Structure 1
Amino acid sequence: MNDEFARLEPGQEQAIQKARKRVIESIGKNMDLYGITQSTGLLYGLMFFQDKPMNLDEMGQAMEMSKTSMSTGIRTLVDLNMVNKVWEKGSRKDLYEVERDWHQTFADFFVLKWRKAVEMNLTALRRSRSELVKLLDEASEDTSEPLRTAVDGDLDKIGQAIAYYLWLDRVIDLLESGGIYEHVPKEPRPD
């Protein structure tokens, strides 16, 4: 019997496990938002309910999966700052625990992903804008009107896209700095 459930009355452990399983399965199914496989999401859900860090052997046993699969899943979760590697005196195995602050997990993940996308898209947009402006500057009198019509339309669209990515960059800054919580406060934990 698990020490965690040693003092419970009959049926209480099953009720707790059922409630946990529902949450774990829900987390697993929704992790595609983070680009994570369902099995890695289930691993995260399992670890969420642990009161102590786990090693790969414990995870593999609990999930009935290979140590290699657990290692791959943990590496993904660590890279996304959703799980932290921790040190525990007397343990020679690597131990891991879930980052409990889901607000921070969300912020870390989306800051990382969105910042990369913003930089990539702004670079492409600015380069294209520069090339189109140069094309207009070098155009002959004969082609300038049809060319100007086509290029102006594209420059307008590119300008709108740049404005969007600059706005998104400010949203990312709010997430990264924690300033988002001034505009959208964290909900108090329900009792």
Structure 2
Amino acid sequence: MTTLGNAKTMRTPSGMKVAPMSYARLEEVADGVRPYLPTVKGYGGGPWKIDCWRVLEQTLARIGYRHHLAGQDELADCAAFTVPEHKLVVLREDVYDGLFNDDVFSRSTVIHELSHIVLDHAVTLHRGAILGKHQFCEDSEWQAKALTAAIMMPLTACQAAHSPHELSQMCGTSYQAATYRIDRLVKEGKLDPARFAGGLFW
């Protein structure tokens, strides 16, 4: 499910309890998924920018998923959600329309829902779990957000960029998401902080 809010300020897990996964494992999953995703060709595209409209309309369809558009009155508190047992993605109409305007929130919403599918997050796995009473590594929303970032902004793109702004342009994400991604990879020792001198506020 794609909720409305700031993921970076999340203090307690907001999703359902699932099997734990580390950042390292999620990076491996992203590396396995990415080659199957179409990229944007021509102007505004590049080797890293995923064609999220085609992911929704074609890639998901090839694995048996369909999508349904809902009005804002129907999805007041979230932008999208996925029902794996019915192979269904429900997406708010304005979010779908945003895919045609290269809207970064719309783009990340599609990849977020794809992440839930890839990670096999099904409600049936969570019965009996108390919302928020588990670790972040066991949280379906934390996992989907982390996987979304790893899919949309792979390490190779982060190594090629010289600033969060450049990374966001290369990959079609928000500046905030690019900043957070670079910050985490620097802290893990996967990126040289000197490369981004003046580009981040540590």
Instruction: Give the structure-2-normalised TM-score.
Output: 0.25
Higher strand share: 2
Whichever of the two has the greater Rg, that structure is: 1
- For CA contacts below 8 A with separation 6 or more, give which structure has more relative contact order: 2
